[in-house]
């Protein structure tokens, strides 16, 4: 195994005290309040799915809420226990609620783009969905959409009887997915608006407003070293990655996951859960590095590539689940079910491609190792 050597220019080579944590939390709380003000000023309720400014504000709210929550988790021994344990689930609730609408939008766009690539059929909803898809999910959908003639990742198939059968069912499959995911997106939009107007959210906002000026550190936290806590977060990530089936990820085809997705069991494949957990642990590790290194932290290309691969993995797994759920709709035509089955298989292949990409990026040595 490569040995890590201390870099004399490393910003975390020396002790980093709890004052840095307090400064980071205050900065994230300020960002949260700024995004909240922008969200209110853009008038979220005036548009059925919000304006572009509202989408950006909601994304900024989620971003700061995740970072505050992640820091409270990693450095919880240095913070008031009752306060931090009460804040973390509320921030997770808020971030998850705000993320759902745009997750459904990006998922629909991803599936329609994939259907178009596989069958050649076009869907009028694609342009509308692309405009509102946001965040890493939209980036994953855009990657699928980039697959076009000349893209070696997904070559266009020649005209075959199978492709003709797929084209027949693709239009109805796309319409079914559009109905189901648009309904889910509309409900998520309504839920987000209700959440932002609820007393529960106002209580969270009030606590964040207090955090922007006063961080409830323990008496010993201002002089405590943050590095052992950040190292523990990195160790949890490393252990979780070590438990992944990276050898299986090196193979181009994983029949077990594909067969499970086409079975009557609607639960997610158990193979996916450890990868989703690694994605969350990688996020906590990144946030801990932000606390230690400050605003001018160098970009770790290895972590960036690994995180992007895990985002694509999540997007493809959820898209495959949506295709499988649509295929279980009662009384759909055989051609529609066939198109959805092909779509599901395509997204499970995307899952395997993302796992392989993670394996390749993670096993690269970082700068400063030998």
Q: Which tokens hold the place of 220?
A: 């010993």
Q: pLDDT of 144-174, one tens digit each?
A: 344 333 333 444 444 455 555 577 889 999 9
> Which phi and psi angles does 4 have, rounded to 5°?
-85, 130
> Which phi and psi angles does 369 have, rounded to 5°?
-115, 160
pLDDT of 270 reads: 77
Q: Which tokens hold the place of 49?
A: 């799915």
- Confidence category of residue 65, pLDDT binned at 50, 70, 90: very high
- Distance set, CA 92 to CA 75, 78, 324 (Å): 16, 20, 28
**Mean pLDDT computed over 41-68:** 79
Q: Are 262 and 344 in contact (CB under 8 A)?
A: yes
**What pTM was estimated for this model as a whole?**
0.81
SS3 of residue 51 by DSSP:
coil
Task: Please say if the pLDDT value at position 143 is more than 80.
Answer: no
Q: Where are the alpha helices (DSSP H) in 75-134?
A: 81-119, 125-132
Q: Are 75 and 50 in contact (CB under 8 A)?
A: no
CA atoms within 13 A on the CB side of 221: 19
Which carries the bigger pLDDT value, residue 48 or residue 168?
A: 168
Buried b (16+ CB within 10 A) or exposed e, 24-44: bbebbbbbbbebbebbeebeb
Q: pLDDT of 213-225, one tens digit each?
A: 999 999 999 999 9
Report the C-alpha gap between 31 and 211 in whole angstroms.
Answer: 11
Report the C-alpha gap between 105 and 211 in whole angstroms.
Answer: 33
């Amino acid at each position: 195994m490569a040995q890590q050597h201390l870099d004399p220019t490393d910003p975390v080579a020396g002790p980093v005290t709890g004052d840095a944590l307090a400064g980071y939390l205050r900065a994230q709380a300020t960002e949260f309040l700024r995004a909240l003000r922008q969200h209110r000023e853009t008038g979220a309720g005036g548009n059925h799915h919000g304006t572009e400014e509202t989408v950006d504000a909601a994304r900024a709210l989620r971003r700061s809420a995740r970072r505050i929550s992640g820091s409270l988790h990693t450095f919880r021994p240095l913070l008031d226990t009752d306060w931090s344990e009460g804040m973390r689930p509320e921030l997770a609730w808020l971030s998850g609620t705000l993320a759902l609408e745009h997750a459904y939008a990006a998922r629909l766009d991803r599936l329609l783009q994939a259907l178009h690539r596989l069958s050649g059929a076009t869907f009028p909803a694609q342009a509308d969905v692309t405009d509102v898809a946001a965040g890493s999910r939209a980036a994953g959908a855009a990657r699928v959409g980039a697959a076009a003639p000349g893209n070696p990742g997904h070559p266009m198939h020649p005209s075959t009887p199978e492709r003709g059968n797929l084209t027949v069912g693709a239009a109805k499959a796309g319409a079914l997915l559009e109905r189901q995911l648009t309904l889910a997106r509309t409900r998520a939009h309504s839920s987000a608006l209700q959440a932002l107007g609820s007393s529960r959210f106002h209580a969270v906002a009030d606590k964040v407003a207090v955090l922007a000026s006063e961080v409830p550190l323990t008496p010993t936290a201002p002089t405590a070293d943050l590095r052992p806590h950040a190292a523990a977060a990195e160790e949890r990530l490393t252990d979780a990655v070590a438990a992944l089936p990276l050898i299986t990820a090196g193979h181009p085809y994983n029949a077990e996951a594909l067969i499970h997705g086409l079975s009557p069991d609607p639960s997610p494949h158990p193979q996916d859960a450890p990868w989703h957990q690694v994605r969350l642990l990688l996020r906590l590790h990144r946030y801990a590095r932000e606390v230690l290194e400050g605003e001018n932290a160098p970009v770790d290309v290895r972590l960036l590539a690994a995180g992007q691969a895990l985002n694509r993995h999540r997007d493809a797994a959820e898209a495959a689940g949506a295709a499988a759920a649509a295929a279980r709709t009662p009384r759909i035509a055989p051609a529609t079910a066939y198109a959805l089955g092909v779509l599901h298989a395509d997204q499970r292949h995307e899952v395997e491609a993302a796992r392989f990409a993670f394996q390749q990026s993670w096993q690269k040595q970082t700068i400063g190792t030998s």
